[in-house]
Amino acid sequence: MAEVERSVSDVARTTAVARARAQLSPRERIGRLLENEAVFGYLMVAPAILYILILVGYPFAIALWFTVSDATVSQPIGPFTGLTNLKFVLDDEVFKRALANTFVFTISSQLIQMVFGTMLAFLLLRHFRGRRLIRAIVMLPFTVPVAVGAIAWQWMLNPTYSVVNWVGAQLGFFPMLGGPNWLGEEQYAMISIIVVNVWRNLPFTAIVLTAGISSIPQEILEAASLDGAGWLTRWRKIMAPIIAPIIYIALLFSLVFTFTDMTVVWLLTKGSPVNSTHVIASYAFVTGVISGGLGRGAAMSLFLFPVLLVGALMLLRNLKARTLD
């Protein structure tokens, strides 16, 4: 009996809803639909998703296809060649060198940045007159466009007119006009590239650390020093663990950007002398864009992907953890 009543009221209800809907003009009906949270939500993210799918997702798929095909600039839809490109790339001595360089540049600049970045962060945390100005100056390398910074360094390291060598000579490091050819000799060129990378990214590391450290509640540090914790203990046991997640993110980004960047190398050496300073990105550029070997170039770029993937996964974990609280 009760069930019968219920189904009767259900019918009445459905007809009422149907009638209410039927009275709407098409325009009103679209309006109603847009008030639905999910419909509205998907509609609003659609442009972003489409843009990314078309200009990041789709090219990425093509890059994968290039890797397994003999695509060239003149014949972009080349025949399927399987792993030939990958094999070629792995046999290429210059590429192996570029792969090693990429790691050397990324890791050594990262380490140097962490050490000096921490020092700089603590210096910037101190209150002193003109702090804002000093901060702005110290941040300059990060705020100046990368390409502009790199070209300025190229001029500073110019084989003939190197101001670095002039200053070095004045300080007695090198004989006058006899300093190293910074960008022309392999060892020096690699050092130069690392220095410019550090120059560029040190401010970022420092500012992230400053922000992290200053976000630590002062009371915690005071409580710790009342408890008798020395400076090193406070850093190791309190500050470092609190800012660890921030450092982690900063490190991740800095790593990924340094790892995949070709601007510094390209503007300083273009891979010279004799292809000894290439990184993956710059060599892929030479192979794919300048020589037109799309397949091989793409296969090289693909070596960036595992690192990116790990970075993305680590970041994902961090982001998920944070969106949950």
Partner 1 sequence: MATVRLEHIYKKFGDVIAVNDLSLEIRDEEFLVLVGPSGCGKTTALRMVAGLEEQTSGDIFIGDRLVNDVPPKDRDIAMVFQNYALYPHMDVTDNLSFGLKLWHVVRDEIKRRIEDAARMLGIDRLLQRKPRELSGGQRQRVALGRAIVREPKVFLMDEPLSNLDAKLRVQTRADLLKLHQRVKTTTIYVTHDQVEAMTMGDRIAVMRDGLLQQLDTPEGLYASPANLFVAGFIGSPPMNFFRGTVRQVDGQTMVDTGSVRVPLPPRVAGGAARAALGREVVYGIRPEDIEAQNGTGGWPVRANIEVVEYLGNEVQVHANVQGVTFVARLSPRAGARVGEDLPLSLHTERAHVFDAKTEDAISG
Partner 2 sequence: MAAITIPRATHGRAFRLRRLRGNILFALALLPFVVFALFPVYWMFITTFKQVNDLYNLQDNPLTFNLAPTLEQVTYLFQQTNYATWAVNTVEVGAVVVAITLFVCIPAAYVLARMRFPGSTSLGIGIFLTYLVPPTLLFLPLSQIMVGLGLINTKWALAVVYPTFTIPFCTWLLMGFFKSIPREITEAARVDGCSRFGALFRVVLPVSVPGLLTIVIFAFTLVMQEYVYGLTFVSASDQKLITLGVVTDLIRGDIFYWGSLMAGALIVAIPVAFVYNLFMDTFVRGITGGSLK
Which of partner 2, partner 1, none does residue 115 bind (CB under 5 to 8 Å by kind)?
A: none
Q: Say whether residue 66 binds partner 2 (CB under 8 A).
A: yes
> Cα–Cα distances in Å, from 223 out to 95, 226, 228, 236?
54, 5, 9, 15
Q: How far is the CB of 25 from partner 1 (least distance, A)?
A: 13
CB 117 within 8 A of CB 212: no
CB 59 within 8 A of CB 53: no
> How many Å apart are CA 83 and CA 85, to the nearest integer?
5
Q: Which of residues 143-202 bind partner 2 (CB under 8 A)?
A: 143-153, 155-156, 158, 160-161, 163, 166-167, 177, 199, 202
In the bound state with partner 1, the residue whose beta carbon lies nearer, of 13 and 322, is 13
In the bound state with partner 2, the residue whose beta carbon lies nearer, of 45 and 100, is 45
From first CA to last CA, the distance across the chain in angstroms is: 49
Chain-centroid distance of CA 129 in Å reads 34
In the bound state with partner 1, the residue whose beta carbon lies nearer, of 31 and 184, is 31
Q: Which of residues 197-256 bind partner 2 (CB under 8 A)?
A: 199, 202-204, 207-208, 211-212, 215, 245-246, 249-250, 253, 256
Q: Take residue 196 and report the two structure tokens written for it.
A: 């410019």
Q: Which of residues 98-127 bind partner 2 (CB under 8 A)?
A: 116, 119-120, 123, 126
Give the interface size with partner 2 as a residue count (CB under 8 A): 104
Q: How far is the CB of 307 from partner 2 (least distance, A)?
A: 10
> How many Å apart are CA 183 and CA 150, to the nearest integer?
12
Pick the stretch among 13-21, 81-89, 103-111, 292-300 that binds partner 2 (CB under 8 A).
292-300
Q: Say whether residue 31 binds partner 2 (CB under 8 A).
A: yes
Q: Take residue 31 and report the two structure tokens written for it.
A: 């309006």
CB 128 within 8 A of CB 153: no
